[in-house]
Amino acid sequence: MVNSRISPLIIGVDVGATKTTAALVDEQANILNLNRKSTPTESSKILVRNTIELIEEIFNVSKACVKNILGIGLGVAGLMDFQKGIVVFSPNLPLRNLPLRDIVHHHFNVPTFLDNDANVAAMGEKFFGVGREVSNLVCLTIGTGIGGGMIIDDRVYRGAGGSAAEIGHMVIDPDGPPCGCGNRGCLEAFASGTAIARRAREVVNEESIIFRLIRGKIEDISAEVVVHAARKGDSLAKRILREVGEALGVGVANVINIFNPEMIIIGGGMAEIEELLTTARAEISRRALAPNLKMVKIVGASLRTNAGVLGAAALVLYELGKLT
Ligand SMILES: [Zn+2]
Compute the distance from residue 223 Cα to the ligand 1 centre, in Å: 19
Whole-number pLDDT of residue 6:
56
Do 99 and 160 belong together in one domain? no
Whether residue 313 lies inside any domain: the answer is yes
Do 91 and 233 belong together in one domain? no
Whole-number pLDDT of residue 76:
96
Whole-number pLDDT of residue 180:
86
Partners of 33 in beta bridges: 24
CATH number, domain containing residue 83? 3.30.420.40
Whether residue 209 lies inside any domain: the answer is yes
Do 88 and 202 belong together in one domain? no
Whether residue 1 lies inside any domain: the answer is no
Partners of 36 in beta bridges: 21
Whether residue 292 lies inside any domain: the answer is yes
Whole-number pLDDT of residue 110:
95
Compute the distance from residue 141 Cα to the ligand 1 centre, in Å: 15
Q: How many structural domains compose the chain?
A: 2
pTM assigned to the model:
0.91
Do 46 and 193 belong together in one domain? no
Compute the distance from residue 129 Cα to the ligand 1 centre, in Å: 28
C-alpha count within 13 angstroms, C-beta hemisphere, residue 302: 16
Whether residue 2 lies inside any domain: the answer is no
Do 284 and 239 belong together in one domain? yes
Whole-number pLDDT of residue 324:
65
Compute the distance from residue 188 Cα to the ligand 1 centre, in Å: 6
Compute the distance from residue 139 Cα to the ligand 1 centre, in Å: 18
Whether residue 259 lies inside any domain: the answer is yes
Secondary structure of residue 70 in the 3-state scheme: strand
Compute the distance from residue 250 Cα to the ligand 1 centre, in Å: 15
Whether residue 324 lies inside any domain: the answer is no
Whether residue 188 lies inside any domain: the answer is yes
Compute the distance from residue 304 Cα to the ligand 1 centre, in Å: 25
- Domain carrying residue 290: 133-301
Whole-number pLDDT of residue 164:
92
Compute the distance from residue 174 Cα to the ligand 1 centre, in Å: 11
Residues of the chain with pLDDT under 50: 1-5
Compute the distance from residue 192 Cα to the ligand 1 centre, in Å: 11
